[in-house]
Amino acid sequence: MIIQLKQQATQKEYKKIVNYLKERNFKIKDVRSENVIVFGVIGDTSAIDPHDLYAFEGVDKITRVSTPFKNASRAFKAEDTIIKINGITTIGKDQFTMIAGPCSIESETQLRTTAKHLKAKGTHILRGGAYKPRTSPYAFQGMALDGLKLLRKISDEFEMAAISEIPSADLIDTFEQYVDIIQVGARNMQNFHLLKALSKSSKPIMLKRGLSATIEEWLMSAEYIMAGGNPNVILCERGIRTFEKYTRNTLDISSVLAVQELSHLPVIIDPSHAAGRWQMIDKLSLAALAVGASGLMIEVHPNPEEALSDGAQSLKIPKFNELMDHIETLTPMFGKTLK
Amino acid sequence: MIIQLKQQATQKEYKKIVNYLKERNFKIKDVRSENVIVFGVIGDTSAIDPHDLYAFEGVDKITRVSTPFKNASRAFKAEDTIIKINGITTIGKDQFTMIAGPCSIESETQLRTTAKHLKAKGTHILRGGAYKPRTSPYAFQGMALDGLKLLRKISDEFEMAAISEIPSADLIDTFEQYVDIIQVGARNMQNFHLLKALSKSSKPIMLKRGLSATIEEWLMSAEYIMAGGNPNVILCERGIRTFEKYTRNTLDISSVLAVQELSHLPVIIDPSHAAGRWQMIDKLSLAALAVGASGLMIEVHPNPEEALSDGAQSLKIPKFNELMDHIETLTPMFGKTLK
Amino acid sequence: MIIQLKQQATQKEYKKIVNYLKERNFKIKDVRSENVIVFGVIGDTSAIDPHDLYAFEGVDKITRVSTPFKNASRAFKAEDTIIKINGITTIGKDQFTMIAGPCSIESETQLRTTAKHLKAKGTHILRGGAYKPRTSPYAFQGMALDGLKLLRKISDEFEMAAISEIPSADLIDTFEQYVDIIQVGARNMQNFHLLKALSKSSKPIMLKRGLSATIEEWLMSAEYIMAGGNPNVILCERGIRTFEKYTRNTLDISSVLAVQELSHLPVIIDPSHAAGRWQMIDKLSLAALAVGASGLMIEVHPNPEEALSDGAQSLKIPKFNELMDHIETLTPMFGKTLK
Amino acid sequence: MIIQLKQQATQKEYKKIVNYLKERNFKIKDVRSENVIVFGVIGDTSAIDPHDLYAFEGVDKITRVSTPFKNASRAFKAEDTIIKINGITTIGKDQFTMIAGPCSIESETQLRTTAKHLKAKGTHILRGGAYKPRTSPYAFQGMALDGLKLLRKISDEFEMAAISEIPSADLIDTFEQYVDIIQVGARNMQNFHLLKALSKSSKPIMLKRGLSATIEEWLMSAEYIMAGGNPNVILCERGIRTFEKYTRNTLDISSVLAVQELSHLPVIIDPSHAAGRWQMIDKLSLAALAVGASGLMIEVHPNPEEALSDGAQSLKIPKFNELMDHIETLTPMFGKTLK
C-alpha cells in the first residue's frame, strides 16, 4: 500500500499516521520527492480498507499494491480451477460447459419438453428459476419449492445437473437438497450475509456479476465464499449496465480475459441476460467461445411468447439446436471440448 | 402501454400479440401511421413486464404510459407522507430531521460520547451500524447483536430514536426489538426477499438507493414494501456510481425533486456516503436543505482516525456542531423546521 | 411520435400542443384511456427534437416511433453497404478488412519497418496518427503534416491504403491529399461542425464511437455525414467508458449486432483502444470476427516500449503475425474472406 | 509516479524500465516489499502518460503522485482566480454572477424582450446560442453570424456582457469581435485543436464539462487553454451522463467542492442543461448557491413552447424573476454578493 500526503501536510500529520501503522506492525518505506511525502506500507494490508485511512488529515491518495483478494487470486493458485458437477460434467480449463433451460420453471410439461431437446443436443446442466427476483411485486414470482422439486425430477430423468438461483440464506438447506449448483443472482452479488452462509455449503456456487460491479468487487465477493471454506466458485458474466439501451445490458466480453489474468476461477457467459434479445444469442455465444469462456448459460423456452418471464431473450428450440451445431463445429478450433 | 411493431412486421404477427392481450382483457387502440403499426394497450398493465412482450416477433418498441408503481406514486396519494418515529420525531413535509452517529458501533464509550454531543445539538435519531456490509471478508464486520443492544440503550439514555441497517430477513424480529427505523442498505435495494419480509414489519423502513439504481427502480423497491402492507417508507439518497472518482459516489441532488414529483414519500440525503470526504459534508448538507430534502443522515465519530470503518467520511464533533449551527440558521429560510 | 400528457393536464393544455402540431401539418390520433391522454403524431417527425416539446405544460412523456436517422437506417437501404477503398480493398459485407499500424507516426524507419511486416501478412490498410489527441498538453502531439506525408509515402511503397485521424475541418483538403480514409476520433464524434464539413468530402469517413455515446447517437453522427452528401461511412467500435478500470474501455461487442439490425453501414472493431492491453488483442479480435464485424483496426509497433503513445496496447510484430495466422484460419468458418 | 511490477516480473524487465527512466533524468526510489517490486519515479512526470509505460513487460500498476495539470492547480496558485468580464462584472471568489438568456437566438424581438427582463433583475451576462450543436442534422442549427451580431447589439443596448458557444477554431476572430466570453460546449471539451487555438485568445473562455468527463479530464482541458497562454478559464458544470433518465443529465453538485480543492478556477453551475426540466431550476439554483458555486447560467425564453431548441428546460420570465428574488435574499447568507 502506497500512501501519499498532501503538499501542505505537516510533520505532525505524517507522524500520526505512521505511528498508527507501526503500532499495527506494518513497516514504512519512504519514497518522498522534494515536494511530496510518499511512503510504502509493508505487511499484509488485506484487512485495511484504504477508505478508512483517508480519515487521517494530510492524506491525499492511497494505492493498493497487492490485490485485496487472496484465495481467488492467480498468485495464490496458478493452475486453472476445475469444478466437478455431481459426476455429470466439470467446469473449467478445456471443458466448454453448456447450461440451458427456461428463465422460470412454469410447469412440468414446459420443463420436460425443454429438457428433452436440450439433452438431445448435449447440454450438461439444466437451469430453471423457482424464486424469481422481479423488479415489480406484481409480476410472476416463481413456483418456489414446487419449482425446485420439478427441476430435480426432470434433471434426474435426463441425467443432467441442476442449477437455480437462491433468494436468501435461509433456503440453503432446501437448495442443497434439490440442485447441484447454487446460483447467486446479480442483485445479490454483494449480499454479504448470503455469501458468508454459502461459504459453508458443500455445493458449487455460481456467482453472477452485479449490474455495475467492477471485476475486483466481483472477485471480492468470490473471496467471501472461498474465505469461509467453499473453494468451488464459478463466475458468470451477464452484462453490465451502460448508457446503451438497445441491448438490455452490455456484455463485457473482455471480463473473461481479465478474470483469467487475475484469478484461477472459471467464467461462464450468459448472453441471454446480457443482450436481452434472442436475435443476438447465437453470435454472442460464438464470441464467448472465441474469447475463451468456460461455457454458456442460455435461456431456452418451447414457446417464448407465453413465457412468464424473459420471453424476449429466450431461444426457441430450433434456434438453440442451430446454436449447438455452431458450437460443436467450433469448439475444437478454440481448444475446447464439449464432451 | 404503447406497442410499436417493426416496419416489416406481418399481419399474422400483429394478430398474435393483439389476441394475446385481448385474451387478458386489455383493450387495443390503433394509432398506426402509413408505415408503422402502433397501438395502445388499455387496462391495468402494472403486472406486465414490457420486456416479456418483446418475445413476440415483430415487436419493435414498448413504452409504458402509467408508472409501474402505485402505492408509492403521487397519483395514488397527493399529499406528502409524514412518518411518526416512536413519539420522538417525524419525517416528511416541513420537518427537517437530523439522523447522525458513527458508521459502526464500536464500544459503549464511543457511542455514548457521540450521542451526548449529537443530542446537545438537537439531533433526533441516532444511527449506528451493527452488521456492516464490507466489500472485504477480512474487514471489521460489526458488533452484531451486542451493537444493537448498545444502540437501544444509548438511544433511550438520550431520548433519541434509533436506526440501524439490517443484513437479512431472518433478523427482522431482532431489529424490531432494538431499533425504531430499519435501514435497507444500498446493496440490498433489490434484495426482493428482504423487501417482502419488511412489508410485514410494523417499523418504518429507510430504503437507500442502490449504487446504480434509477429512481424508478428505487420507487419499485419501495412499492414492494408498501404493496405488502407497510406504508412507512423513507427514501435515502446516498450517491450513485459515476465515472468520477474524486468523490466516493456522486450525490444526485436532483433526485429529491424527481421523487417529490413522482411520489409522496420523504427523501433524506446522506452526504457522508455520497462524497466519502468529510470536507464536503457541510456544504452538501446545506445544498440538501436548499433543494428541499426531508433531512440528513450524517456520520459522526469522536475520533475518525481510529474508526473501524468509514473514517474518511466521518465528521468530528466540533465540525458537526458547526454544521448544526448552519442548519439551524438556514432551515427557516427554506420553509423547514428542526423542532 | 407518441405524446402522453400528465394525469392532471387540462383540456386547454391538450389543445395548445395539438394546435401547435396541426399548424405544422402533423395529424393527431387519439389513443387515450380513462385516466390519461395519449396521442400519436403522424407525419415526418425527424426534425422535431422531442426534448423541445416538453416545454408544453401538461406533457409527461414523448416517445419516438420512427428512428431519427434516415440515410443511415436499414429501413432506408436494405442491403449492406460496401465501400471501395482506393482500388485496394473494400469494407463491408463478406470482406474482412485488416487495418493496422502504429498509434503515432514517429519516423520513416518506424513506419516502414511496421508496414513491411503488416503487408507481408496481408494487411490492407496502414494506420498512423499524425495529429494526436492527447489528454495532456505536455504529451507528444504528433508529427503533423510531416507524418501525413510519410504515411502516404510508405502506403504507396507497400501498395496499402492509408488512414489517419483528422483534428479539425480546416485540414480536410490536406487529408484528402494524403489519406484514403479520413478518421474521426471518438472525442470528435459529436463535433458537428467537423461532421458537416466531412459530408462534402469525396473520401470515405471512419467514424469512431464516442466514449459514452449510445448507438443511436453514433448513427445520428453518421447521418450528419450522409445527409450532406457523403454516403461512405465506416463505423468503428473502440470501447465505451464503464466503471471497469482493468481495461481502458469496455469493448461493446454487441454493438456490431445492433448496428447490423439498425443500419446498412459496416462496423470495424478496434480492440487496441477498447482493451488498452496488448495481451487481450488476439482473443478480442477473434471475438470480433465471430460476432460478424467487417474488420479490425490494430495498433502495431516494432518496439512498443519506445513508442511515443499507446505503447501498452500495441502489438509487437511477432504477436501480430500470430494474430493474422489465427484470423486467416478462422475467417472461412465465419463466412468472411480476407482477400 | 509509483510503478509496481508484477509478482513474476524478472530482474531484466525491472532493469529495462528503470534504465529507460534514468536515461530521461528521473530518479528511482525503491520501496519493494518481500513479494513485489515497487518504486517511485522522482522528477517532473507531467509529460509522461502512464498508459504508455504499461508497454514495458512486467509492469502491473502505475499511480500518479502529482496532478497532471499545473497552471490549473491550487498548488500552483493558492488564491482564487477572479476574471474580469469587459468592465461589466467579474467571475470568481465572493461574486455570484448571473448569466441568462435563450438557448438559441431566434430573432431580435425574442432577444430584446428577454434581455430587458433579465437586466431589470440584475443579470450580468446575456447568453444566446448562434451556432447550435444539435444531435440531428435536421434540427434548427442556429442563426450563425446574424445571431452573434444580434447578441452584441442587444448586450450593448442593455449594458450586459455577452457569451456564446463557438463551434470551431476558424471562428475565433469572429467570436472575439462579438462576444465577451467564448463558450466551449460539453461535446467539444476534448476538442484539443480548439482548446489550443483558444489558448491564444485574449477573451475569457467558459469551458463546459464533457458529458462523461471526470474532473481531472476537465481540468486537463483547462490546462490546454492555460498552458498556451490564456489564464482566464471559467469552468461550467452542466450535469453528467448517468443511468438516471428522469433528468436529462445528473447535476454533479459536489464537483464545485472538488474543483475548489484542486484548482483556483471559478465554477459556474448550469442547472438548465443538467436537469432538462424547468420545474427543477429554482431549487437546483439555490443548491448551487449553497454549495459555493461562482454563479449560474440559466436558460430563459419569453415563450418556451415556441422555442426552436431546449424549450423544456427554459424558464419563463415570471419564473426567472422569482428565482432572482430567491437568489437575492440568500446570497448574503452564503457569503456571496450579486452586485
Report pLDDT digits (tens) over A30-62.
877 767 888 888 888 877 888 778 888 888 888
Interchain CB distance below 8 Å, D33 and A39: no
Interchain CB distance below 8 Å, B214 and D240: no
d(CA C237, CA C251) in angstroms, rounded, equals: 7
Count up the domains in chain D and report the number.
Answer: 2
Query: Shortest CA distance to C52 belongs to which of D53, B246, D41, D278?
Result: D278
Interchain CB distance below 8 Å, A138 and B46: yes
In chain B, % of residues over pLDDT 70 = 99
In a domain, C213, yes or no: yes
Report pLDDT digits (tens) over D266-298.
999 999 999 999 999 999 999 999 999 999 999
Q: What is the pLDDT of residue D34?
A: 67
Query: Shortest CA distance to C70 belongs to which of B227, B35, B201, A212?
Result: B35
Considering the domain architecture, whether residues A108 and A252 belong to the same structural domain is answered as yes
In a domain, D73, yes or no: no
Q: Which chain A residues are Cβ-neighbours of B134 within 8 angstroms? A: 49, 192
Q: Which chain A residues are Cβ-neighbours of B16 within 8 angstroms? A: 305
d(CA B174, CA B268) in angstroms, rounded, equals: 25
Instruction: For residue B312, give the nearest of A55, A138, A223 by CB distance.
Output: A55
In a domain, A87, yes or no: yes
Count of pairs with CB atoms under 8 A, one residue in A, one in C: 114
Q: Which chain B residues are Cβ-neighbours of A190 within 8 angstroms? A: 133, 135, 187
Interchain CB distance below 8 Å, B255 and D244: yes
Instruction: For residue C136, give the nearest of D49, D276, D278 by CB distance.
Output: D49
- The CATH number of whichever domain residue B333 belongs to comes to 3.20.20.70
Residue pair C101/C303 in contact (Cβ under 8 Å)? The answer is no
| pLDDT average, residue stretch C176-196 | 97
Interchain CB distance below 8 Å, C7 and B42: no
The residues that bridge with A90 in the sheet, in sequence order, are A84
Residue pair B135/A43 in contact (Cβ under 8 Å)? The answer is no
| CA B216 to chain CA mean position, Å | 12
Q: What is the pLDDT of residue D135?
A: 87
Confidence of residue B132 (pLDDT cuts 50, 70, 90): very high
Confidence of residue B284 (pLDDT cuts 50, 70, 90): very high
d(CA B162, CA B100) in angstroms, rounded, equals: 10
Q: How many residues does chain C have?
A: 339
| pLDDT average, residue stretch D252-272 | 97
Cell numbers found for residue D91:
467571475
Instruction: For residue A333, give the nearest of C255, C283, C333 by CB distance.
Output: C333
Q: What is the pLDDT of residue B34?
A: 67
| pLDDT average, residue stretch B277-306 | 95
Residue B69: phi and psi, rounded to 5, are -110, 150
Report pLDDT digits (tens) over A228-270.
999 999 999 999 999 999 999 999 999 999 999 999 999 999 9
Considering the domain architecture, whether residues D38 and D10 belong to the same structural domain is answered as yes
Count of pairs with CB atoms under 8 A, one residue in B, one in C: 52
Q: Which chain B residues are Cβ-neighbours of A138 within 8 angstroms? A: 46-47, 227
Residue pair C272/D55 in contact (Cβ under 8 Å)? The answer is no
Report pLDDT digits (tens) over C35-87.
788 888 888 887 788 877 888 888 888 888 778 899 999 989 999 999 999 99
Count of pairs with CB atoms under 8 A, one residue in C, one in D: 154
Q: What is the pLDDT of residue B190?
A: 97
Query: Shortest CA distance to D292 belongs to which of D336, D237, D240, D338?
Result: D336
Interface of C with A (CB under 8 A): 212-216, 240, 242-247, 250-258, 261-262, 274-275, 279-280, 283-284, 286-292, 329-330, 333-334
Interchain CB distance below 8 Å, D54 and C307: no
Query: Rounded to a whole number, what is the largest CA-CA distance in chain C?
Result: 75
CA distance B65 to chain C (A): 7
In chain C, % of residues over pLDDT 90 = 76
d(CA C111, CA C124) in angstroms, rounded, equals: 15
Which helix (H) or strand (E) element contains residue D38? strand D38-42
Considering the domain architecture, whether residues C199 and C288 belong to the same structural domain is answered as yes
CA distance B202 to chain C (A): 32
Cell numbers found for residue A69:
483478494
In a domain, B231, yes or no: yes
Interchain CB distance below 8 Å, D38 and A243: no
**In chain A, which residues have pLDDT < 70?**
34
Would the ipTM clear 0.90, i.e. be above it?
yes
Q: Which chain D residues are Cβ-neighbours of C309 within 8 angstroms? A: 49, 52
Q: Which chain C residues are Cβ-neighbours of D227 within 8 angstroms? A: 137-138
Q: Answer yes or no: is pLDDT of D246 > 80.
A: yes
Considering the domain architecture, whether residues B197 and B310 belong to the same structural domain is answered as yes
Interchain CB distance below 8 Å, B40 and C29: no
Work out the number of other CB atoms within 10 angstroms of the CB of residue A77. Answer: 15
Instruction: For residue D137, give the nearest of C194, C223, C241 by CB distance.
Output: C223
- The CATH number of whichever domain residue A15 belongs to comes to 3.30.70.1140
Considering the domain architecture, whether residues A57 and A88 belong to the same structural domain is answered as no
CA distance B43 to chain C (A): 8
Winning range, highest mean pLDDT, from B50-54, C153-157, D24-28: C153-157
What is the pLDDT of chain D when averaged over all its residues? 94
Q: Which chain B residues are Cβ-neighbours of D275 within 8 angstroms? A: 254, 257
Interchain CB distance below 8 Å, B61 and C61: no
d(CA C104, CA B291) in angstroms, rounded, equals: 49
Interface of D with A (CB under 8 A): 2, 4, 7, 29-31, 33-36, 38-40, 42-43, 61, 63, 65-66, 75, 241, 243
Considering the domain architecture, whether residues C296 and C238 belong to the same structural domain is answered as yes
What is the SS3 assignment for chain B? CEEEECCCCCHHHHHHHHHHHHHCCCEEEECCCCCCCEEEEECCCCCCCHHHHCCCCCEEEEECCCCCCCCCECCCCCCCCCEEECCCEEECCCECEEEEECCECCCHHHHHHHHHHHHHCCCCEEECECCCCCCCCCCCCCCCHHHHHHHHHHHHHCCCEEEEECCCHHHHHHHHHHCCEEEECHHHCCCHHHHHHHCCCCCCEEEECCCCCCHHHHHHHHHHHHHCCCCCEEEEECCECCCCCCCCCECECHHHHHHHHHECCCEEECHHHHHCCHHHHHHHHHHHHHHCCCEEEEEECCCHHHCCCCHHHCECHHHHHHHHHHHHHHHHHHCCECC
Q: Answer yes or no: is pLDDT of C310 > 80.
A: no
Q: Which chain A residues are Cβ-neighbours of D42 within 8 angstroms? A: 33-34
Interchain CB distance below 8 Å, C290 and A275: no
Cell numbers found for residue B132:
456492516
Q: Which amino acid is at B94?
A: D
In a domain, A288, yes or no: yes
Interchain CB distance below 8 Å, C51 and D312: yes
Domain boundaries, position B156: 83-338
Rounded to 5, what percent of chain C is helix, strand, coil?
40, 20, 40
d(CA A56, CA A46) in angstroms, rounded, equals: 19
| Beta strand spans in D51-157 (E) | 59-63, 83-85, 89-91, 97-101, 125-127
> Which of B69, B209, B235, B257 is the mutation pick for testing D, counting most D CBs within 10 A?
B257
In a domain, D68, yes or no: no
The residues that bridge with B40 in the sheet, in sequence order, are B2, B29
Considering the domain architecture, whether residues B143 and B57 belong to the same structural domain is answered as no
CA distance C29 to chain D (A): 21
Residue C325: which region, alpha, beta or left (left: phi > 0; alpha: psi -120 to 50)? alpha
In a domain, A20, yes or no: yes
In a domain, C74, yes or no: no
Query: Shortest CA distance to D3 belongs to which of D45, D39, D55?
Result: D39
D14, D32, D63 - which closes a domain: D63
CA distance B199 to chain C (A): 28
Considering the domain architecture, whether residues B186 and B101 belong to the same structural domain is answered as yes
CA distance A33 to chain D (A): 6
> Which of B14, B138, B189, B279 is the mutation pick for testing A, counting most A CBs within 10 A?
B138
Q: Answer yes or no: is pLDDT of C159 > 90.
A: yes
> Which of C305, C313, C316 is the mutation pick for testing D, counting most D CBs within 10 A?
C305
Considering the domain architecture, whether residues A129 and A44 belong to the same structural domain is answered as no
Interchain CB distance below 8 Å, C35 and B66: yes
Which helix (H) or strand (E) element contains residue C62? strand C59-63
Interchain CB distance below 8 Å, D276 and C192: no
What is the pLDDT of chain B when averaged over all its residues? 94
Instruction: For residue D253, give the nearest of B246, B279, B287 by CB distance.
Output: B287
Interchain CB distance below 8 Å, A254 and C247: yes
Q: What is the pLDDT of residue B182?
A: 98
Q: Which chain A residues are Cβ-neighbours of B138 within 8 angstroms? A: 46-47, 68, 227
Confidence of residue C34 (pLDDT cuts 50, 70, 90): low
Cell numbers found for residue B122:
438537537
Residue pair D199/D229 in contact (Cβ under 8 Å)? The answer is yes
Which chains would you list as touching C if contact means 3+ CB atom pairs under 8 Å? A, B, D
> Which of D211, D248, D257, D273 is the mutation pick for testing B, counting most B CBs within 10 A?
D257
Q: Answer yes or no: is pLDDT of D311 > 80.
A: no
> Which of C63, C253, C327 is the mutation pick for testing A, counting most A CBs within 10 A?
C253
Report pLDDT digits (tens) over B145-187.
999 999 999 999 999 999 999 999 999 999 999 999 999 999 9
Considering the domain architecture, whether residues A34 and A107 belong to the same structural domain is answered as no
Which chains would you list as touching D if contact means 3+ CB atom pairs under 8 Å? A, B, C
Considering the domain architecture, whether residues D157 and D293 belong to the same structural domain is answered as yes
Considering the domain architecture, whether residues D159 and D18 belong to the same structural domain is answered as no
Instruction: For residue A290, give the nearest of C242, C256, C290 by CB distance.
Output: C290
